[in-house]
Structure 1
Amino acid sequence: MKKEFRKKVISDRKNQNNEFIIKNSSIITEKLLSLDFIKNAKNIMLYLDFNNEVQTDELINKLMSLKKNIYAPITLKEDRKLIPSQIIDLQNSIKIGAYGIREPKEDCCPKIDVHDIDVVIVPAVAYDKDCYRLGYGGGFYDRFLNELRDDAITVGIAFDLQIFESVPKEDHDAQLNYIITESQILIPNKY
């Protein structure tokens, strides 16, 4: 069930045209930049988009211009681990890494201890209205999010078409603090 659901949502997202992706990514970027937890954060980790995900390059450039330290994960496939590494320069310090996803080059990008991260902007295939995510199936982010300090903020960014009443989840799946789409900001129901 999880596999089929994942496949359908990825397909729906891939079918969106470039104009949709650019326009809505820009709206989501502006929403994020207006939030206090972003304004107050010093160290922000996010993903480098691929496959019609919400684009992050504009967000990275704007955060860097605000003097934030920006990190993206280097994926260690065999260890099923993410290593947060600083983005120094989006043009020259990035390479294609595991799974064909862009990531910082290991030799030029300083690492950061996971406990020093203030905000993590997380990718996913889909989210539910209670801020649970359905990832790509490797468990990389679920393991990584468990290592964060308690007051670190976790945020999913997605298009409305990736939001559902519920998504298939398991006990180890992380619940995020926020999900931001082009039309809404979701916060988990804590009752």
Structure 2
Amino acid sequence: MAGRRVRVLGIDPGLTRCGVGVVDVAADRSATLVHVGVVRSPADARIEQRLAAIAAGIRVVLEAHRPDVLAVERVFAQNNRNTVMGTAQASGIALLLAAEHGIPAATHTPTEVKAAITGYGNADKRQVQTMVARVLRLDALPTPADAADALALALCHAWRGGGPQAPAQGPLTPAQRAWADAERLARR
């Protein structure tokens, strides 16, 4: 793998703002920004129109930048059911588009991403933005936070050995095991 790079599309799913970030990561873990942005959908539009807008925006990024792999934030339980539903729907769109484009996809929890980027699983948005800017040698913090989170997802995936040949789901990390245990308890 020496000299080889992997191009990762990170997606921070959301209905109003869906962060998208593409990075090239070399075998030595150095990374280069390829693209960053936010796909938006109007909050007053019907759900199918909003999902179509998110899909169209992600398709543009997939076709323009041809990533090797896609990483999306794993949906987690929150108090606001509407937010969880919108995030899950946008996540499903991203995963479907990866399959349609023939690229592997993986999911990562927010805690895994924060730990990979900052070394601390409870880092705040500003800490994540700061580390993403430092890793990618950016002159300014990536904004909005959705865009920074998408870049962090892409970096996390690449740094965890998530090249295009890696299985979408390998052995569970400690954070993933804790998440799975919490989900099992919540179903009882």
Q: TM-score range by the shorter chain?
A: 0.3 to 0.5
- Scaled by the length of structure 1, what TM-score is found? 0.33
Q: TM-score, normalised by structure 2?
A: 0.33
Name the structure with the higher helix share: 2
